[in-house]
Amino acid sequence: MAAPVIQMTDVTVVHSRAPGVPLVTGVNWRVEEGECWVVTGLQGSGKTALIETAAGLHPYPAGEVQVFGQRVHGTEGEGLEDVRRRVGVVFDGHGRLFGSQTVLENVALPLCYHRNRSWEEVGEEVMGLLQLMGLETLAGQLAGRLGRAWAHRVALARALVQRPGLLLVDNPLTGMDPYHARWWRGFLGRLLVGLPELGGVPMSLVLATNEPRALLGLGRKFAVTHAGRWRCMGDRQEFERCEDPELRGLLYDED
């Protein structure tokens, strides 16, 4: 049987800039291959830190995190680079693109680095991906000059270029206009069933959001970071039935 994509056992997630401050404690979480998890919670409840911990970017003071069966602990651990290459991360906001590089260079960088190829040699492959994502006209633009919605899409392209098995997306729809929000939902749905252009393999998705309503149709399982605790809520029906007033405040615009 294949190892779970993510396995967290009693993990304490801390703030990236304040390692002594626990944000979420007691995280027990198992993500299987092909699943789509929506992790929600109020702003500042630790969703981003959780995602970065799962990506092997943060150390954590307690528990154990395994990704694709490999133990990760922030910057430590053998084979961490290989694990990171199997995990695509789309950061919040402008996606932490390299602002002084063009869109093409941003997306091509991981391929060039890991395959030891020049920009020209991977250009065709990268342009194919950019076309698939409607970004081909932006290829020559500096990433630092893109608007938020387009930058976030470029960040998704950069995360996908190495064909990861797991995609972690932080706030995919926050601040998006309806056009981009629809595109994101559609594209993430296609990734979930497997895009032929990316090998056709269903991808495991973890989507962190403080607007879970927009992702109700996409998520198969739901979890919440709330008041420093981690709660797996189950499927959509179970999630929608939750009684906690603050969690209901995330889902429903009611007093």
Chain positions contacting other proteins, by CB under 8 A: 16-17, 52, 55, 57, 75, 81-82, 84-85, 87, 89, 91, 95-99, 109-110, 112-114, 116-118, 158-159, 162
Q: Which of 81, 89, 215, 105 is nearest to 160 (CA)?
A: 89
Q: Which residues contact 159 (CB under 8 A, 6 or more apart)?
A: 88, 89, 90, 167, 169
- The enclosing H or E element of 152 equals helix 148-160
103-115 and 119-132 helices cross at what angle (nearest 10)?
130
Min dist CB 122 to other proteins, Å, is: 10
CB-wise, 31 or 108, nearer to other proteins? 108
* Cβ-based nearer residue to other proteins, 71 or 231: 71
Whichever of 43 and 116 has its CB closer to other proteins, that residue is 116
Our CB check for other proteins shows the closer of 78 and 243 to be: 78
Closest distance of CB 6 from other proteins, Å: 15
Least Cβ distance, residue 218 to other proteins (angstroms) = 22
E strand segments, the chain: 6-14, 22-31, 36-40, 62-67, 70-72, 87-90, 166-170, 204-209, 221-226, 229-234
HEC profile of 193-233: HCCHHHCCCCCEEEEEECCHHHHCCCCCEEEEEECCEEEEE
Give me the least distance between CB of 145 and other proteins, in Å please. Answer: 15
Judged by CB, which is closer to other proteins: 147, or 234?
147
Q: Which two tokens stand for residue 209?
A: 């959001």
> Is the Cβ of residue 82 or residue 246 nearer to other proteins in the bound state?
82
